[in-house]
Structure 1
């Protein structure tokens, strides 16, 4: 059973998930700090290249299953046209209301 978007407790994470699911590049950029970083399965990646490939050009979508008490960690069923569906873990660092880093990988 998925957690509804409005039930995500951390506003920056909620904005991130909403942007991913809407395929909205501008909204995602607005949810991130300037110079935000990320890693996928433990390897740092170029955030612009990764989001274009894994989210926008491949119709990425997150169905959030659980969130941590602080709202900064999620487990989600993530799917895109490249890899299909997989259970993923997400961890976010928020600074001044925006995401400065996120880490994702298979859960």
Structure 2
């Protein structure tokens, strides 16, 4: 069972998932705090190259299965043209409507 993106609880996370699924890099970047950081499978990554490789150039798409922590923690089936489909966990740290950090990895 999936959760419709429009039903996600946190408005910033909802906008981020919407941007990912629309392959809208500009909209996603507009949600990031100036000094935003991220990690993948527990290792900090260089944010912009990671976004381009794993999401935008490979047409990433999220189907959210569950949310917790007020909508800032997601379990999703993530698909891209590089890796295919995988079950992933996402945690977003949001401050003043901007994403300051997100962490993702296999769930």
Q: TM-score, normalised by structure 2?
A: 0.98
Q: Deviations over 1:36-77 (max 9, x none)?
A: 100000000011000000001101000000000411100000
Moved runs in structure 1, 4+ residues, more than 2 A?
none
Structure 1 residue runs without a partner (length 5+): none
Aligned length: 107
SS of residue in 2 equivalent to 1:58: coil
1:30 aligns with 2:27: no
Q: Which residue of 2 aligns with 1:48?
A: 48
SS of residue in 1 equivalent to 2:71: coil
Q: In 1, Cα distance between the equivalents of 2:24 and 2:6?
A: 18
Alpha-carbon distance, 1:2 to partner? 1.1
Structure 2 residue runs without a partner (length 5+): none
Q: In 2, Cα distance between the equivalents of 1:69 and 1:100?
A: 16
Q: In 2, Cα distance between the equivalents of 1:6 and 1:60?
A: 18
RMSD: 0.7
Q: Which residue of 1 aligns with 2:86?
A: 86
SS of residue in 2 equivalent to 1:74: strand
Q: TM-score, normalised by structure 1?
A: 0.98
Q: Which residue of 2 aligns with 1:76?
A: 76
Q: Which residue of 2 aligns with 1:62?
A: 62
Q: Which residue of 1 aligns with 2:2?
A: 2
Alpha-carbon distance, 1:35 to partner? 1.2
